[in-house]
Structure 1
């Protein structure tokens, strides 16, 4: 099975990439427990910014961008992570998914995540990121993961839980969907995939 992590972080090191790596490890651990082997690829959008702009203008993707698009469209599941800018996803994040065929993500399991300076931005996942992937007819897992500055190393609280717990729960959800999705067949009905995958969820 193949997982592709899309990170829209702009700095090095990046908390956005760090969150993506933690999500990938959680998914790997869960699928391993289900006797599935997983290979993980990472698409760093900051390295493709010029190529994305060129494609938007010319309509032709440069080779590096074309390879990144193939990683996304051929993956069995996606973990996508964006920093929050102006109360929404970053322009780079949106532009990348603008150059992908609108039908390419149909039925694909997607875990959405974001990073920001304060927890006040956490609803960006529900009012901006989730609708984007619903429009693309992807199957978005119920748990979205937001990491504010104070979440790193924090124990969380009674309502939100610690960041590691949210990462683990989201990883369990997408692993169930990936394991339930037929390999090599065309995209199934989104609701059928979601219902079967969620029925198989198990939490420790």
Structure 2
């Protein structure tokens, strides 16, 4: 007997493949608050995808372990070994989560160097959720004056909410004015999951609504003749 479906029998729903997420953490210490934030953003995204009936496949790249290879690539112009694997993982991912510590009021040199050796077209149209960690809340503007311009330049689709975590944020409760860190992480993960939902984005960027020619729009406003 063949596997042909009986006429009139509805076809079984096609199972969606897992959403491939790559998490890039530029933390230098171990344990690292940068890695902690990256993991929590990934978990919030996974939970939000689960609510949409989707599963997530998460791969984490620790830039600390690739620092020497990144520097070597600047000299040789050729990425090899584990760095080549990491770059390929980013290229194949459906979405990217990237988190950096703040040094001198901006992203770290290691973080920037990784994206400097990444092919310039790798992130075109790819959803990216980014975050940063630092010792003081005064560095929170790094999200919009450094990180968002970087990923916009690389033509990525940046998630609306990015997350900055200062040292005091990890234990701070929601005061009714500023959302707590867990609340901001959950919101960011939910928005990012929306960008990762099938059909929301194409390889050429966000799907565009059909635009009617101006003449047709104008004709629709004309009063009917008596």
Q: TM-score, normalised by structure 1?
A: 0.90
Deviations 1:131-178 (A, max 9, x none): 000000000011010000000021143333100010000001110010
State the distance in 2 between where 1:36 and 1:75 align: 15
Deviations 1:46-101 (A, max 9, x none): 00000000001100112100000011111101110000000000000000000011
Map of 1:119 onto structure 2: 137
Residue 114 of structure 2, aligned match among 83, 96, 99 = 96
State the distance in 1 between where 2:140 and 2:77 align: 34
**Residue ranges of structure 1 left out of the alignment (5+ in a row):** 194-204
Map of 1:161 onto structure 2: 179
Residue 160 of structure 2, aligned match among 142, 147, 169 = 142
Shift of 1:190: 4.2
The aligned length equals 191
Map of 1:188 onto structure 2: 204
CA contact (8 A) 2:200 2:207 kept: no
What's the RMSD between the two structures over aligned residues?
1.6
CA contact (8 A) 1:138 1:190 kept: no
More helix by share: 1
Map of 1:199 onto structure 2: none
SS in 1 for 2:197: helix
State the distance in 1 between where 2:177 and 2:58 align: 31
Deviations 1:12-45 (A, max 9, x none): 0000000001001000001011111111000000
Shift of 1:187: 1.2
Q: TM-score, normalised by structure 2?
A: 0.81
SS in 2 for 1:3: strand
CA contact (8 A) 2:91 2:122 kept: yes
Shift of 1:191: 7.0
Distance 1:77 1:192, change over 3 A: farther
State the distance in 1 between where 2:71 and 2:175 align: 41
